[in-house]
Amino acid sequence: MIITAASIVFHSVLLVGSWSESTAAMARVYLLSISYQHQTNQIHNSYVNQTLSTAMHDAADSAYLEVRGGYFGLCARSNNKGSWTCKRNAAGFMGNRASIEDPLNLLGIMDHFRGEVEFPGLILGSIVLSTITLALISTFPGYHEEEEAETGDFIEVKPFPSRPISQAAAASMAFSTLFALVAALWQHTAAASAASVLQYATLGNIKPSVGPTAVVLVWMPVAMAATVCVSILVMIFGITLLDRLVDDDQSSVNIA
């Protein structure tokens, strides 16, 4: 139960990161960060339009802005040691546009990435299924004392959980693991691809980085959910095997 609850907490923190109601600490939980790269040299080769290269270099060289994107919001700061301001989308920063210098529209780029590329539905589905599994596991019987018929002593016994409930918990956790795995692959691939494309498309004038905390928060629940799923399946298999052994012993006694 603890592992299942921990996976739910990890996914919840990941979704809350860089949200409009986030604290400054939650701005550290982001999928992708982009900022202006102050280059000393421009790119010069036959494949690059020098007018475009010069214009982008001059624009990026005179601006400082870092934008971080999460599943449900953006966070931005206009200087290296400034405080983070978080909003639901780029439109929420319109009131501060006069104080934010953003010539290459980093806010718009990140808002598009958040809204059109990343998808939180799979993580939400995994949370719901993990919660269902947690509720089913909580119905498993615990230890209680029973009086032994032969000796009269009280002993602690733990009845087997209901087989239908165990199977339902295993199925729910299996789908939760699948959802978490697909969500992790989606998030990691999308963020890494976007970072590579942005750096190349802007001729190195934008510096992208994938959020390390978000990577941990999306992959840890996959391992946790898989561990719980395998544990439930092993328990079901063990109970089934034990029932068969008991039935075989009873059959042998009846024959004798």
Residue (of 41, 65, 36, 69) closest to 53 by Cα position: 41
Q: Give CA torsion, residues 16, 21, 22, 27, to 10 deg.
A: 90
Residue 256: inside a domain: no
State how far Cα 63 lies from the chain centre: 32
pLDDT digits (tens, 9 = 90+) for 127-148: 999 999 999 998 887 665 665 6
Has residue 252 been placed in a domain? no
Domain count, the chain: 1
Residue 43: CB atoms within 10 Å: 14
Q: Identify the CA nearest to 222 among candidates 166, 169, 176, 168.
A: 176
Q: Give per-residue pLDDT as tens, 155-181.
A: 665 677 888 899 999 999 999 999 999
Among residues 70, 27, 14, the alpha carbon closest in space to that of 191 is found at: 70
Would 254 be classed as within a structural domain? no
Structure tokens at 116: 């059109």
The string of pLDDT tens digits covering residues 185-244 is 999 999 999 999 998 888 888 899 999 999 999 999 999 999 999 999 999 998 888 878
Determine, yes or no, domain membership for 255. no
pLDDT attached to residue 152: 61
Most confident of 14-18, 24-28, 45-49, 193-197: 193-197
Indicate whether 24 belongs to any domain.
yes
In a domain, residue 127? The reply is yes
Question: Does any domain span residue 240?
Answer: yes
Per-residue confidence (pLDDT) for residue 205, from 0 to 100: 86
In this prediction, residue 62 carries a pLDDT of 77
- Residue 127: which CATH number? 1.20.140.150
Summarize the confidence of residues 109-124 as an average pLDDT: 92
| Paired tokens of 170 | 């295993």
* 45 pLDDT above the threshold of 60: no
**151 φ, ψ (degrees, to nearest 5):** -100, -20
Identify the domain containing residue 119 by its residue range.
2-247
- Return d(Cα 126, Cα 181) in angstroms, integer: 9
Q: How confident is the model at residue 79 (pLDDT cuts 50, 70, 90)?
A: confident
Max CA separation in the chain (angstroms) = 97
Q: Is residue 202 part of a domain?
A: yes
CA-to-CA distance for 184 and 20, rounded, in angstroms? 23
